[in-house]
Amino acid sequence: MWTDEMRKKALETRLAKKKQRGENHTVISGRSAIQSGDKVIPVSDWEISIRVDWEHLPMQQAQTAYASLRKEFEKAGSILNARSMPTPGTYKCFMCKQTHVGQPRGTDYSYINADTGLMEPVLICGEKCWLDYQRLRIKERREREMPQSA
């Protein structure tokens, strides 16, 4: 199993050998998260370094390198766009807070959010969540209708 230190050393060794041979090289390193046992530790230290001698590189190789970089950045753009846009046909269950694909099993458009006082649609994924939602509504109604003791 490769550790992060081993990966870093291997990358440094490859880059040193490429540099000795005089090859142009691209370095993209970093991770969004490292898994350590049961924990996922976010890491935000990204380093992108692209060193190409565009002035002296033969035209065919320069065009190939440019096409490769362009393809990679277009792929990154497509992936990031897809990640930022919600998938059509998905919804988040009001009770279990999980995102589901398809149509909700139950809907209620009469729920009034106690914090904002505004109506908001309630989308429910299944029977268990629907029963839990009904219990929640009954509890809220009882609390609202019970006389306040002074």
Q: Which residue has the higher pLDDT, 40 or 127?
A: 127
Q: Band the pLDDT of 115: cuts 50, 70, 90.
A: confident
pLDDT exceeds 50 at position 98? yes
Domain locations in the chain? 1-59, 90-145
Mean pLDDT of the chain: 80
- Higher pLDDT pick, 123 / 88: 123
Share of the chain above pLDDT 90, in %: 27
Token pair recorded at residue 29: 């390193």
- The per-residue DSSP string of the chain comes to ---HHHHHHHHHHHHHHHHHHT--EEEEE--SEEEETTEEEE----EEEEE--TTTS-HHHHHHHHHHHHHHHHHHHHHHHHHHSPPTTEEE-TTT--EEES--SEEES--B-TTT--B--EEE-SHHHHHHHHHHHHHHHHHHHSPPP-
107 close to 124: Cβ distance less than 8 angstroms? yes
84-90 average pLDDT score? 74
